[in-house]
């Protein structure tokens, strides 16, 4: 018999329920109000009182309303048909809902129950299987969607029978497995999993080392992220966090892209809904939306629902990782999620931490980021979740608690700078403050030396040193004036500007420059660093400025030309002729 209760108190979307039986942490319940039942999650239990956060507006809810507990935690439905879906934070299919403003208490099933899938068995009768083992596969938008043994089972099972190759619906039985006691379990294509619990059906989770190519030079060249890596993008409003995430999601070398719009402004979410179905995937030539899942908060969901969005998106990502796929997960913006945690913590009258955020904010963020990663599955295949979140610190203050807590766990730090954004130097990632800790790993150094060049990391460090030196000289020039600084200083400053304009800046609206393959990045880095290593002779700082502006102009034109095309080679020739003018 399920536990029931009565509403005892209401504080916005925090509801206190007096229960008549046992309930558990994170259990789901439904509160009756009028003709609707509102979904809520237990977040605290004190005696006979359960404190629940409601995922809908509590307008009209009254004390004494009936509450029924579901007996399970907040969970997602997993199965073929999730790709190309527009889901809300509770995994409702938004396209099945009616009206511009969604009705309260309306919940929809995320999958198509009537679609026939072409099933192909991978296991056979007599095989020993366990949680996460692949039983068969279906084609989902040109991706091999594995039908797996449910993650919830424990121990080993034996396959008694498996369906023949053919067409089946998601709830048709495709396999029967038997445990050691002879108990049979019928399996279809659908399974459920609680979002707050990580899916750990893999053999090991080693340190990631393979480069995740994004086509964005300031990331791939200066601060690379790896398959299964973690990174975050902090920055003030208007500096390009969402745009940079969109660029990575469009161009990254991944099988699946999941966008968790867990709190950014509505116009940017609408841009995803409108733009992604029309974009062409640069890797496959198909529509980008075919390998994309969007998890977005709806406008009438309260702040607390932002927490559900990120966990729902991560659980779906873990599901596809268990199929041996490369998943890129974007969350925009995790600051809104942290604000939701702060809001509920304050209503529960918990002891506040810095800026009134929960005391355990760092632990919550660390546990969530830890769910990403590169894994070896039990069958020898590999899969990965690369997680990149954005942070929107108030006033651009990178010392606030959310940024500081995220900085402790994320291995890549892409700091967006207001000054670079104001001067239209996009992507506005500060090349000096930003970093990638993966460069320090011996595994990554060995991998990148084989993939690109043995001295690649040394060249990147040389480039960053020159950028740092250029910044210091710029400050001296601003204080002392152009005439009071030696010409050699001007030369060093303009070398750093050459790197900035040609390597770090990128035109997202140009068809060629928007995506820069790693081979081209390596070529341009070698070319520009050769220019920077050379010695030059000038009479005054004006000559230095004019000369390097001409070099920068040629370098930018090269970025707009097809790699190794006739135009590209023509610009190289022009650059060599120009370099001969002042080189010593």
Tell me how far apart the alpha carbons of residues 112 and 117 are, in angstroms, rounded to a whole number: 10
Classify residue 250 as left (phi > 0), alpha (psi -120 to 50) or beta: alpha
Name, in order, each residue with C-beta under 8 angstroms of 382's C-beta and a sequence gap of 6 or more: 324, 374, 375, 376
Distance CA 519, CA 511 (A): 17
Integer Cα distance of 510 and 97 in angstroms? 37
Do the strands 86-88 and 292-296 form a parallel or antiparallel pair, or are they unpaired?
A: parallel
User: H or E stretch including 495?
Assistant: helix 487-499
Q: Is 240 annotated as belonging to a binding site?
A: yes
Whether 230 has a binding-site annotation, put simply, is no
Q: Secondary structure of 226-249 in the HEC alphabet?
A: ECCCEEEEECCCCCCHHHHHHHHH
Distance CA 236, CA 218 (A): 19
Contact predicate 117/167, CB 8 Å: yes
Q: Where are the beta strands (DSSP E) in 149-190?
A: 157-162, 166-168, 175-178, 184-187
Q: Is residue 442 annotated as involved in ligand binding?
A: no
Query: Is 239 a known ligand-binding residue?
Result: yes
Return the closest-CA partner of residue 165 out of 126, 228, 106, 122.
122
* Residue 235 known to bind ligand: yes
Q: Assign residue 275 a region: left if phi > 0, alpha if psi is -120 to 50, beta otherwise?
A: alpha
> Whose CA is closest to 431, among 229, 212, 223, 225?
223
71 carries a ligand binding annotation: no
Q: Assess contact for 76 and 258: CB atoms under 8 A.
A: no
Measured CA to CA, the distance from residue 338 to residue 564 in angstroms comes to: 47
Q: Which residue, chain included where needed, has tokens 């359960």?
A: 50
Residue numbers in the known binding site are: 235-242
Residue numbers in the known binding site for ATP are: 235-242
């Amino acid at each position: 018999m399920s536990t029931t209760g009565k509403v005892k108190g209401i504080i916005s979307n925090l509801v206190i329920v007096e229960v008549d039986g046992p309930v558990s942490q994170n259990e789901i319940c439904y509160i009756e109000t009028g003709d609707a039942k509102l979904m809520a999650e237990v977040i605290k239990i004190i005696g006979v009182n359960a404190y629940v956060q409601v995922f809908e507006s509590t307008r009209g809810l009254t004390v004494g309303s009936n509450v029924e507990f579901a007996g399970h935690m907040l969970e997602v439905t997993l199965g073929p048909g999730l790709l190309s879906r527009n889901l809300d934070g509770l995994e409702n299919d938004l396209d099945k809902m009616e009206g511009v403003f969604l009705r309260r208490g309306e919940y929809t099933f995320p999958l198509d129950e009537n679609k026939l899938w072409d099933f192909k068995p991978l296991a056979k009768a007599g095989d020993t299987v366990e949680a996460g083992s692949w039983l068969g596969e279906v084609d989902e938008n040109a991706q091999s969607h594995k039908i797996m043994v449910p993650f919830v089972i424990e121990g080993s099972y034996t396959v008694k029978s498996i369906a023949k190759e053919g067409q089946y619906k998601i709830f048709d039985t495709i396999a029967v497995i038997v445990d050691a006691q002879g108990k049979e379990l019928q399996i279809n294509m659908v399974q459920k999993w609680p979002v707050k619990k990580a899916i750990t059906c893999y053999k090991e989770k080693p340190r990631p080392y393979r480069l995740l190519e994004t086509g964005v030079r300031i990331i791939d060249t200066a601060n690379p992220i790896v398959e299964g890596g973690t990174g975050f993008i902090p920055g003030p409003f208007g500096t390009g966090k969402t745009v940079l995430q969109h660029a990575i999601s469009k161009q990254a070398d991944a099988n699946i892209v999941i966008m968790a719009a867990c709190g950014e402004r509505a116009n940017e979410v609408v841009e995803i809904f409108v733009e992604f179905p029309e974009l062409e995937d640069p890797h496959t030539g198909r529509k980008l939306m075919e390998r994309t899942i969007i998890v977005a908060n709806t406008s009438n969901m309260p702040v607390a629902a932002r927490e559900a969005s990120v966990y729902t998106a991560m659980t779906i990502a873990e599901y596809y990782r268990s199929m041996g796929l490369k998943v890129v997960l974007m969350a925009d913006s995790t600051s809104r999620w942290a604000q939701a945690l702060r809001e509920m913590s304050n209503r529960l009258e918990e002891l506040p931490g810095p800026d009134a955020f929960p005391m355990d904010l760092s632990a919550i963020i660390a546990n969530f980021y830890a769910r990403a990663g590169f894994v070896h599955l039990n069958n020898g295949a590999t899969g990965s979740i690369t997680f990149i979140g954005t942070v929107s610190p108030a006033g651009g203050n990178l010392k606030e608690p959310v940024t500081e807590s995220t900085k402790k766990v994320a291995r890549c730090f892409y700091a967006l700078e207001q000054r670079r954004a104001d001067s239209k130097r996009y992507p506005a990632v500060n090349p000096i403050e930003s970093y990638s800790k993966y460069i320090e790993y011996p595994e990554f150094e060995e991998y990148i030396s084989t993939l690109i060049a043995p001295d690649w990391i040394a060249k990147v460090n040389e480039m960053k040193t020159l950028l740092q030196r250029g910044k210091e000289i710029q400050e001296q020039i601003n204080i002392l004036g152009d005439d009071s600084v030696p010409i050699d200083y001007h030369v060093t400053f303009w070398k750093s500007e050459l790197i900035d304009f040609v390597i770090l800046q990128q035109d997202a609206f140009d068809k060629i420059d928007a995506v820069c393959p790693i081979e081209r990045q390596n070529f341009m880095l070698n070319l520009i660093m050769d220019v920077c290593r050379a010695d030059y002779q000038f009479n005054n700082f004006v000559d230095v400025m004019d000369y390097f502006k001409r070099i920068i102009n040629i370098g930018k034109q090269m970025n707009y030309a097809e790699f190794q095309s006739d135009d590209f080679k023509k610009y190289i020739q022009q650059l060599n002729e120009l370099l001969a003018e002042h080189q010593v």
